[in-house]
Every structure is written in C-alpha cells, then in structure tokens.
Amino acid sequence: MSGSAGFRISADFVSARVALTWAELVCGYRKGWLALDALTELTEAGSAAAPGLPTEEERLYLFSSEIEDRVNAAVAAADVDCDDPEPNKVWMYLALARLYERRDTVSGFWEVIEMIWSDHGYPDEASAFIYYMPPPPGEEYGKPAMLRRLETYLEEQARRYRSRRTPD
C-alpha cells in the first residue's frame, strides 16, 4: 500500500479525473498508489505510452507471475525520478480527491490528510488543510474553513488536470 495513508486508487477513479503521463504512472505504481492491474488497465486505456509492458493480447498467453515480472521490469527500466515532486503532484491530488469522496465513511479524515501530506514531502499547497498548521493569511481557523480550502484545492487541481490534452 502507499505510504502511511495505506490505500490504493482504482484505475476507474484515476481515468475519470486525469490522463497520466508514463512518469506519473511509474511513480504511482512504485509508491503503491496503483496496483498492477490498475497500471495495466490505465496503459491499455491509452493514458500513456508504456514501453515494455505486455499488450492485452500478450497477457492472454502469459501467467500472472510473468505479467507481473514484465510490468516490474518495465517500471524498473523507466528513467523516472519518483523523488521529484512534479510527477507526484497528481498522486497527492488523486489521493486527496479519493479521500474527500469518502470523507463521511473514513475514520480519522484529518489525520489521513496529514499522512498524505507527509507522504508527499509536506508541500506548501497542502498545508492549508492540515489541522495544526496556521491558516493562510486572512483565512479562518477551524475544520469547516479547512474543508473549504481542501475543496478549492481539489477544484483547482481538477481543472488543471482536465485541461491536459495528451500525456507524454
């Protein structure tokens, strides 16, 4: 599972919100946000060019362990720095969007947000909805205000990622 937040994000959830680049897919898989089947489903759906992954037809003739080996080899061969914050920004957005969607059923909602923030290296853009951090200048304190800031962040990121035309 991914970092301390401990949940994965489904291919359906991802594809409904963003077309990922190969670097973003690699980082999502390496960091545990995507399971193997979600990674292959997203590449099949044309989310990004995926060098070295077996095609849908090839997977029909491969054992599941062979598919996993080929996927892991392709991901390992990818020249992607998953410590670079840029390919991880989409995963913070997707994790927070997934969590927000399930906010009424998640125990410790604000603590999970903090875990996601921690998993992504404490980016400034997320500190506005961390319960023990001061609000931005001129903003209100409290959970209702933090929830509004989270909603604004999610709306801005949704617009940002929807406007991307084609992944690289």
Distance CA 161, CA 3 (A): 23
Tokens 């080996």 belong to: 69
Going from the C-alpha of 131 to that of each of 152, 155, 157, the distances in angstroms are 16, 20, 21
- 48, 21 Cβ separation under 8 angstroms: yes
User: How close are the terminal C-alpha atoms of the chain, in Å?
Assistant: 26
Crossing angle between the packed helical segments 22-30 and 36-44, to the nearest 10 degrees = 170
Please write the tens of the pLDDT for every residue from 33-52: 988 888 878 877 664 556 66
Burial tier of 56 (Cβ tally within 10 Å: 0-12, 13-18, 19+): exposed
Residue 2 has pLDDT above 60, yes or no: no
- Give the pLDDT mean for 10-30: 88
Query: Average pLDDT, whole number, for the chain?
Result: 82
- 45, 11 Cβ separation under 8 angstroms: yes
Length of the chain in terms of residues written = 168
Please write the tens of the pLDDT for every residue from 44-76: 766 455 666 666 666 656 556 666 676 767 666
Q: How much is the pLDDT for 86? A: 81
- 24, 87 Cβ separation under 8 angstroms: yes
Q: How much is the pLDDT for 4? A: 55
Instruction: Please report which confidence band the pLDDT of residue 148 belongs to, taking 50, 70 and 90 as the band edges.
Output: very high
- Give the pLDDT mean for 158-166: 78
* 23 or 100: which leads in pLDDT: 100
Please write the tens of the pLDDT for every residue from 107-141: 899 999 999 999 888 999 899 999 899 889 999 99
Q: What are phi and psi of 69, to 5 degrees?
A: -60, -45
Give the CA angle between residues 123, 4, 53 to the nearest 5°: 90
Residue 21 has pLDDT above 50, yes or no: yes
Give the CA angle between residues 104, 110, 113 to the nearest 5°: 105
Give the CA angle between residues 17, 27, 67 to the nearest 5°: 95
